[in-house]
């Protein structure tokens, strides 16, 4: 089972509530949330992703394939509005941790989450330190929910693969990077922070027939020939076949992601994320060197 832990602010639009907290303090926030607890919250940045993931359980005739857990800084008292909104929107989310002002990331590992999604950079960094892959959900153009197929796009280096090759590029340039990748073409790349998430998503994909599969996976990378070969052979070594692989040679990714129709794109570089977020929902993959 693929397990996703997500914060309430990534799942729902809590900007108005947060503004009350910022302007008037905690007690006013509590009163506001209680007074509004029967008013459903609007979808947030990651709502469509979660909706489509949970829909996989309805499409698969067997045990559930996906579980989503809610992690929130709210108390259970102020969090009742969030659970009411979950019910209103028909989301099959049953497990939650309300942390009363503390960062909720600490429970992602206890829930055995494969991925933690939050709008807060510091929560994501703490999640990584706790051994759970994490992405910061960014303000992005919303995807359309009427398309049944879940489309997930990944960057390569420092996301699916380790940052080892990226460091060579950063320190010595493109020629040194290409030479290294060509020399090591038969040596599989080390897995990055999102390798395990890709593997679990791929397992779910294989649960469906090829003609009726509700998941498409894309690799969207700045790599091009000759560095493409090592990527292809690495995925082959992992026994994973990705539906679409785009080797863009440094071209901007956002138009390609728009054409793919990504429900989420995961990249570690903030500039890439900001550009992509203009067209598709985007998550910045967090590592120990992540900058805002």
Rounded Cα–Cα distance for residues 156 and 158 (Å): 6
pLDDT > 60? residue 146: no
Share of the chain above pLDDT 90, in %: 68
Mean pLDDT over residues 49-73, rounded? 91
pLDDT > 70? residue 208: yes
Token duo for residue 199: 């593997």
Give how far the C-alpha of residue 73 lies from the chain's centroid of Cα atoms, to the nearest Å: 20
| 155 belongs to the catalytic site | yes
Q: Examine domains 2-136 and 150-285 and report if their fold is the same.
A: yes
Mean pLDDT over residues 203-210, rounded? 91
Rounded Cα–Cα distance for residues 272 and 265 (Å): 10
Whole-number pLDDT of residue 157: 93
- Domain covering 150-285, topology: Rossmann fold (3.40.50)
Mean pLDDT over residues 73-81, rounded? 83
pLDDT > 90? residue 74: no
Q: What is the pTM of this model?
A: 0.92
Phi, psi of 127 (to 5 degrees): -65, -45
Whole-number pLDDT of residue 20: 82
pLDDT > 90? residue 188: yes
SS3 (DSSP) at 70:
strand
Structural domain spans, the chain = 2-136, 150-285
- Domain covering 2-136, topology: Rossmann fold (3.40.50)
Which residue among the candidates 13, 24, 146, 155 is catalytic per the annotation? 155
pLDDT in tens, 265-288: 999 999 999 999 999 999 999 876
Whole-number pLDDT of residue 199: 95
pLDDT > 70? residue 182: yes
């Amino acid at each position: 089972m693929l397990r996703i832990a997500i914060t309430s602010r990534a799942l729902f639009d809590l900007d108005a509530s947060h503004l009350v907290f910022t302007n008037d303090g905690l007690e006013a926030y509590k009163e506001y949330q209680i007074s509004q607890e029967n008013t459903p919250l609007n979808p947030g940045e990651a709502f469509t992703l979660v909706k489509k993931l949970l829909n996989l359980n309805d499409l698969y005739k067997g045990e559930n394939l996906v579980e989503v857990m809610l992690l929130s800084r709210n108390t259970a008292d102020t969090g009742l509005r969030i659970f009411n909104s979950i019910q209103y929107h028909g989301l099959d989310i049953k497990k939650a941790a309300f942390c009363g002002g503390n960062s909720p990331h600490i429970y992602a590992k206890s829930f055995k989450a494969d991925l933690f999604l939050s709008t807060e950079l510091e929560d994501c960094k703490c999640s990584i330190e706790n051994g759970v892959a994490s992405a910061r959900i960014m303000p992005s153009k919303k995807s359309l929910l009427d398309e049944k197929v879940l489309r997930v796009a990944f960057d390569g280096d420092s996301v699916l693969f380790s940052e080892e090759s990226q460091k060579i590029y950063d320190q010595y340039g493109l020629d040194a990077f290409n030479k290294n990748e060509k020399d090591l073409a038969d040596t599989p790349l080390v897995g990055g922070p999102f390798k395990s998430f890709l593997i679990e998503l791929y397992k779910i994909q294989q649960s469906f027939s090829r003609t009726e599969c509700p998941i498409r996976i894309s690799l969207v990378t700045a790599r091009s020939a000759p560095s493409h070969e090592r990527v292809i052979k690495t995925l082959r070594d992992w026994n994973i076949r990705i539906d679409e692989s785009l080797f863009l040679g440094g071209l901007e990714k956002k138009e390609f992601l728009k054409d793919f129709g990504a429900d989420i794109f995961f990249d570690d570089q903030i500039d890439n994320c900001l550009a992509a977020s203009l067209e598709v929902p985007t998550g910045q993959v967090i590592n120990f060197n992540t900058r805002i």
